[in-house]
Structure 1
Amino acid sequence: MTQTRRPPAPRPAERARTIAARGGRAALLPSDGAENRVVPVLHHVHASGDTTILLPDGHPLTEAARGTEVTAMLEVADHAPVQLREPVRGLLWITGWLRTLAPAEARAASIEVAEHRPDPRLLDVGHGAAVLRLSPASLVVADAEGTTSLRPELFAQATPDPFHQHEDHWLRHLELSHRDVVGLLSQHLPEGLRGGHVRPLGLDRFGLRLRVETSDEDHDVRIAFSRPVATSGELAVELRRLMGCPFLAQRG
């Protein structure tokens, strides 16, 4: 039986690092049986997978992790930059040990985060905000490419996609100002999806992803580049090529 060739895509650890680097919406889920999802004031996933989390001083979870470690899971959602019926395009779960940092550690941790991600909320550390550190035991990434469990060392060895800082802006521009380009790409979709609503979903060094919203469900389609790209110039060349000869594979 002939198998459909899957187009090249980022490996799971790279996809996980990319979701982490985008810094999407997060929720902290304690593993003590409580069902409440705690939304951090701020979170930052470091390259190692360790995560710095800000919670209000006096929050029950802040107090529970003071002077000890509690198990918890942080969920980071990767939302599409355009309005979609189902906006979450990927999830990263980091499970590990959570502890509240002492004042000196908290100040050092907030300075470290500020070097990578300046944020005025960091000024509240010691003035109503506490700093917690989540040390990872395992990570799971889930998106249209699949669901994969990762060891922290694999996560640390990977790097985010080179376009992760610009992807949202480019896709919004494509959605708002270049619907003609999206229309040209839609001509190469599988025949059964050509009547759906086609939206730009994602962009990485391996290709472009489209979301096709039909009357009853959503489909994610990857259009692969002829080779991985690393610069905006290489990306422009591949996007022009795709207007004439895309390499498609359907997901979903």
Structure 2
Amino acid sequence: MRPSPAELVRTLVAGRLPALAHVAHRPGPHHVRHITDPDGQLLMLVPVVSDLSVALEPVAGDDVAVVLDVLDLPPVAGAPSLGRAWVSGWATRLRDDAQRQATLDFADAAPTGDLLDVGTRFRLYRFEVAEARLERADTVLRVDPEEYAAAEPDPLHPVEAQVLADLADHHGAEVTGYVRRQLGHAAPAGPVRPVRVDRYGLVVAYGPVPERHQLRLAFPHPVDHPGELARALHPVLCRARATRTPD
């Protein structure tokens, strides 16, 4: 199994990666801090004194159309990109009780001292996702809004860089040995390097540049929490067999 387009979009827009906001009929784009709630609705934390705040002001009562643009930042050099997510909707400034609840929701996902100044120096905006797209390898896939809302961001994405560093620093020999056992006579002569990990498996790279190859090692079961990763990696690190699918 691999992450679905809806899961990839939810992972990219969860709030851990830098984002740009494009406001319809206004100059831009604008850098913006954001998070998504469990239903995938976006919250944007915007300074009162900023070009983005001005752009988000409605004209003659019209809704403000916004597109959030998030490009993946691969965790290690040479790692494949998850792509680029584009989600669009209509932004609404939150006030009173809605603003207070949104401040708490934002703090749960991305604590920052600036949330103490919501209502004075900062404003919170919410928009429901009306359209979602995933751009990968010059192909744009449209994601159904209901599928987007039902999907979950990958639970390993926040710790992916640390996991890959640990595997490279402390378990390189085990990963290389496992891949050689799986590939048999087609096994690479040189070392194997883990380059991505998600809830469904581990992606490794091997061979010389530019003919470098990638291989996906599938976990026995999807990982629901980082604490389950050690069990999922047990077949790789302990000379057991596991399912594999080439990228």
In structure 2, distance between residues paired with 1:185 and 1:110? 47
Match of 1:140, SS state, is strand
Distance 1:184 1:227, change over 3 A: same
In structure 1, distance between residues paired with 2:179 and 2:110? 37
1:130 to partner: Cα distance: 2.0
| Residue of structure 2 in register with 1:39 after alignment | 31
In structure 1, distance between residues paired with 2:26 and 2:239? 50
| TM-score normalised by length of structure 1 | 0.75
**What amino acid is aligned across from residue 56 of structure 1 in structure 2?**
P
Aligned residues: 239
| TM-score normalised by length of structure 2 | 0.76
Distance 1:89 1:117, change over 3 A: same
Distance 1:124 1:221, change over 3 A: farther
Per-residue displacement from partner, 1:78-123 (whole Å, max 9, x unpaired)?
Answer: 32333x1578433221111123334654333212222333222312
In structure 2, distance between residues paired with 1:105 and 1:227? 39
Instruction: Pick from 2, 6, 23 the counterpart of residue 9 of structure 1.
Output: 2
Percent identical: 28
Aligned ranges 1:1-252 → 2 under 5 Å: 8-21=1-14, 23-32=16-25, 34=27, 36-40=28-32, 42-67=33-58, 68-82=62-76, 84-85=77-78, 88-102=81-95, 105-143=98-136, 147-184=140-177, 187=180, 194=188, 199-211=193-205, 215-216=209-210, 220-230=214-224, 231-240=228-237, 247-250=244-247
Per-residue displacement from partner, 1:158-196 (whole Å, max 9, x unpaired)?
Answer: 223343444332112113333324433564679999589
Q: Which runs of 4+ in 1 moved over 6 A?
A: 189-193
Question: Structure 1: 5+ residue runs without aligned partners?
Answer: 1-7
Per-residue displacement from partner, 1:194-224 (whole Å, max 9, x unpaired)?
Answer: 5898542222232111345854487653222
1:234 to partner: Cα distance: 3.2
1:57 to partner: Cα distance: 0.8
1:74 to partner: Cα distance: 0.6
**What amino acid is aligned across from residue 73 of structure 2 in structure 1?**
H
Distance 1:217 1:194, change over 3 A: same
Question: Structure 2: 5+ residue runs without aligned partners?
Answer: none
CA contact (8 A) 2:20 2:68 kept: yes
Match of 2:14, SS state, is helix
